[in-house]
Structure 1
């Protein structure tokens, strides 16, 4: 008896790379990025910079990988598979930041989204001053888009941010100070009229990006997810501002379907279309 098989087909998909930390709780970092890439039908690859023990209540341990291990992961992906979009998240220390910056240059990586993970949305500094200096002087100047939150934007711009006008001025200052091709100052940690409003500046256009406000405590991973969604849209060939707008819509919808898991702050619902089948 002869068995007939369907003809084999191959598919080509854009590839995105996330260079970030691992979140054991699955809500942020590498795990959130790969879910976001998959949602956009982009093949996700990764270079892990650190391992965290964390859940919805917080982080209990962080172990950095050796810079050489981070470099090896980046090279393994880029030299064989190639990438059409790259996102960086938690890089943790000066040595890793320097190593990643050198790889971006030597491998001619473009379409780079830098989420400058320096300070949390609540104002807690996450990396030391030496790492902040390296991030600002080495990696951010290579960025296609840098996506600071309010407190990170204050560091990068050197100005206090309390209003939408302050966000606009900071975006312009960061563009001029760092050399990044475009700046997106995020308003997730703002109050009043600026809450949830983002400001874009690319040297030519100053744009205010707004979406529906979502009232939920389960917002873990929003910054990672936004940067990953931007990188995915860049990998799909979208123009930078369009990539940002579509990424913002994705995150807003994911927030509407945020997961109420654990005893603390749950993550956004990265896979919200599948929830219709529950």
Structure 2
């Protein structure tokens, strides 16, 4: 942490500990990282959209890596921040979101969109920290839940994707009627899932961004497969190297 602050002033490197087994000892619990250059690059060159996701760590201590990824002006992924935490829960996500909100200076959250795949504790934490942001769910994950609930088959899959890709209300209504013709209960499954979270026809026009998948996080996760097997210190270095490479690529493109 000291070396990072020395080489990257104004970066956010936040460590949280808990009481250890011996009196007076502290035990590692969480570590959050967001580099100053990344913060500045995101604020001046990226859309007001953040994809968030988590991935399990495969080292001996276990845990979960939380990530936040944006999109730059070339529609390339722009990793913003990540944190190693003890588990996937509301407390960890809330801690991560509060630090991210402070780093990105998000005051008017209604101008932002958060893309996620409904992980455990994420929805509640996101709603608490970003109550007015547009919450969008990756349709691939939505379809998986749809299928798990018993609504399987190619016809229903096509009907769902047709509804998500609709761009005007009349078209959306028509596509949902087509789904009801296949299985009326399938449309009722969406009663507690506002279309603004998964269909283009109800997306806010402020963001000018209508992608339906959380692929930006998936791309980043694939880049750090080897890092997830390492001990905490080594593991935290590898995403940092990738983020530095992305920043250099962006600078080269700008030139």
TM-score (norm 2): 0.39
Larger helix proportion, structure 1 or 2?
2
* Larger Rg belongs to: 2
TM-score (norm 1): 0.36
